[in-house]
Amino acid sequence: MPTVRYTKDHEWIRLDGDMAEVGITTYAQSQLGDVVYVELPEIGKSLTKGSEAAVVESVKAASDVYAPATGEVVAVNQALEGAPATVNEDAEGKGWFLKMKVANPAELDELMSAEQYKDYLAGLVH
């Protein structure tokens, strides 16, 4: 079963073996508002954990999407180019941004589980 982890910058990563899907969380898309454009990385690009992986633009703001792990981009979600609102509709499903081959799966141990992320979000809402 795939492992899903979350960052404090509201990215998610779903690891299955050494391959992973990456996107932004439902919370992140709700804060951004209507997504109007997604800039995806090039296939073959090497990403370092914490480095910029993509850019998401909404009617409110543009935001960087950071790599939750180190690895190489092996696929991007081309569907987002024509339908960026997919991120709003299904941020943690069809709205994924990229797939990557993870160099060191142990890096994900430093990220939050779904339960920890839920607690983290509860602490953000005042």
Amino acid at 123: G
Residue 1 has pLDDT above 90, yes or no: no
d(CA 29, CA 12): 12
When pLDDT is cut at 50, 70 and 90, the band that residue 2 belongs to is confident
Residue whose pair of structure tokens reads 């569907």 in the numeric block: 79
Q: Tell me the domain boundaries of the chain.
A: 3-104
Q: What is the pLDDT of residue 126?
A: 54
Q: What is the pLDDT of residue 71?
A: 98
Q: pLDDT tens for residues 78-116?
A: 999 999 999 999 999 999 999 999 999 999 999 999 999
Residue 63 has pLDDT above 70, yes or no: yes
Q: Shortest CA distance to 45 belongs to which of 99, 109, 96?
A: 99
What's the CATH code, domain 3-104? Answer: 2.40.50.100
